[in-house]
């Protein structure tokens, strides 16, 4: 029995030496020290021993148990230490690796200028109105007094949606005027920014989609002088007090009289350059005194009320603001361009 115990000790220590996981350790512990384990099996045979042998073997058995327990505890500590150093290696952070670049967006230059324009108009008591981009020809043409023969109605100019030409992508923001006048009573003071669509080829100053800001003022006694004062104030706030404007006679079916408004070229200051085609002026908008037929068609009595309206090109307004000479830059979304604003 003494030999058995000593053999057992040697076997157990050897097996523990070769254990590599806590699961292995646990099964060895059960095998040697468990209730049905090897030491217990030997102790069961103690009954056959003599009185003198029994305490000696008993003590030896306790020693062997203690040695194996100690060896298991050692091994547990060793495995834990190994695990830790493996994790320290595999989960190591290299704090010297450069971080991921975090790009923060910013407002598009057209949004910046639109926000400024909105602030200026809101400061003059205007509200913001909205209208649909898919519009009825009734609002975009008929109620704006645009004759059936007008080139804007051609399939070559406008993106029609219905074959009977009753619905199309609006080619101007002016139909919002009609929608507002049909739904509000004077006094009216609104602007309406938004997208418009025309079958234009893309070049430095054209795109099939662009933006306008429509404006409409209706009240008693409103005249061309109010139109000039309002638009001059806008230009002075946007481009500086000294910026000159020029009101040129023009024709729009929905205004009478009508005009186009030019701003002194911001690139050359009026002396003539490539951007203004040597004229010293850049066209910014169309405007006029609302035609009595348009008022009457929207249920507003032209004998009592009058008003003015305008349509500003937002791309133009932005290009003038920053001296940008090619409209395509506003649509390409090249970060090298956009990050300058």
Interface with ligand DAH includes 174 (CB under 6 A)? yes
Per the CB < 8 A criterion, the answer to whether 266 and 235 are in contact is no
Identify the residue among 137, 145, 158, 172 touching ligand DAH (CB under 6 A): 172
Is residue 255 involved in binding ligand DAH (CB under 6 A)? Answer: yes
Asked if 169 contacts 133 with a C-beta cutoff of 8 angstroms, the reply is yes
What is the closest distance, in whole angstroms, from the C-beta atom of residue 286 to ligand DAH in the complex?
Answer: 3
Tokens of 179: 């929608």
Using the rule CB under 6 A, give the single segment among 29-37, 113-121, 241-249, 308-316 that binds ligand DAH. Answer: 308-316
Shortest spacing between CB 324 and ligand DAH, in angstroms: 21
> Under 8 Å CB-to-CB from 16, ≥6 apart: which residues?
25, 28, 68, 71, 72, 75
Q: How far is the CB of 93 from ligand DAH (least distance, A)?
A: 60
What is the length of the chain?
341
| CA–CA dist 141, 171 (Å, integer) | 10
Q: Which is nearer to ligand DAH, 38 or 260 (CB)?
A: 260
* Contact residue for ligand DAH among 136, 146, 311, 318 (CB under 6 A): 311
Q: Are 215 and 190 in contact (CB under 8 A)?
A: yes
Instruction: Between 180 and 276, name the residue whose CB sits nearer to ligand DAH.
Output: 180
Q: Contact letters (x/-) for ligand DAH, 256-295, by CB under 6 A?
A: ------------------------------xxx-------
Helices (H) and strands (E) in the chain, counts: 12, 9
Span interacting with ligand DAH, options 97-105, 135-143, 248-256, 293-301, rule CB under 6 A: 248-256
Start-to-end Cα distance in the chain: 93
Whichever of 309 and 329 has its CB closer to ligand DAH, that residue is 309
Q: How far apart are CA 292 and CA 309, in angstroms?
A: 12
Distance of CA 252 to the CA centre of its chain: 38
Sites of contact with ligand DAH (CB under 6 A): 172, 174, 214, 252, 254-255, 286-288, 309-311
């Amino acid at each position: 029995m003494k030999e058995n115990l000593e053999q057992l000790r040697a076997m157990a220590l050897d097996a523990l030496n070769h254990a590599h996981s806590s699961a292995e350790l646990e099964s060895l512990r059960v095998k040697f020290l468990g209730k049905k384990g090897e030491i217990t099996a030997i102790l069961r045979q103690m009954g056959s021993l003599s009185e003198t042998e029994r305490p000696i073997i008993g003590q030896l058995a306790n020693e062997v148990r203690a040695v194996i327990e100690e060896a298991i505890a050692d091994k547990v500590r060793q495995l834990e230490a190994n695990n830790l150093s493996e994790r320290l290696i595999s989960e190591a952070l290299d704090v010297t690796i450069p971080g991921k670049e975090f790009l923060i967006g910013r407002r598009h230059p057209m949004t910046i200028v639109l926000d400024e324009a909105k602030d200026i108009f809101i400061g003059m008591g205007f509200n913001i109105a909205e209208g649909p981009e898919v519009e009825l020809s009734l609002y975009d043409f008929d109620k704006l007094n645009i004759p059936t023969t007008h080139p804007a109605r051609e399939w070559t100019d406008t993106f029609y949606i219905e074959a009977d030409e009753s619905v199309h992508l609006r080619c101007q923001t002016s139909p919002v005027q009609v929608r507002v006048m049909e739904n509000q009573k004077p006094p009216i003071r609104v602007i309406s920014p938004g997208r418009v669509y025309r079958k234009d080829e893309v070049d430095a100053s054209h795109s099939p989609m662009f933006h306008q800001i429509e404006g409409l003022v209706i009240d008693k006694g409103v005249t061309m002088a109010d139109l000039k004062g309002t638009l001059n104030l806008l230009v002075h706030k946007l481009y500086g007090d000294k910026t000159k404007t020029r009101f040129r006679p023009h024709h729009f079916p929905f205004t009478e009289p009508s005009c186009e408004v030019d701003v002194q070229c911001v690139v050359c200051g009026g002396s003539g350059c490539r951007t203004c085609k040597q004229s010293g002026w850049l066209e910014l908008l169309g405007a006029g005194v609302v035609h009595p037929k348009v008022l009457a068609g929207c249920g507003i009595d032209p004998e009592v009320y009058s008003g003015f309206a305008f349509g500003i090109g937002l791309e133009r307004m932005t290009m003038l603001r920053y001296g940008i000479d090619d409209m395509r830059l506003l649509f390409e979304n090249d970060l090298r361009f956009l990050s300058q604003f």
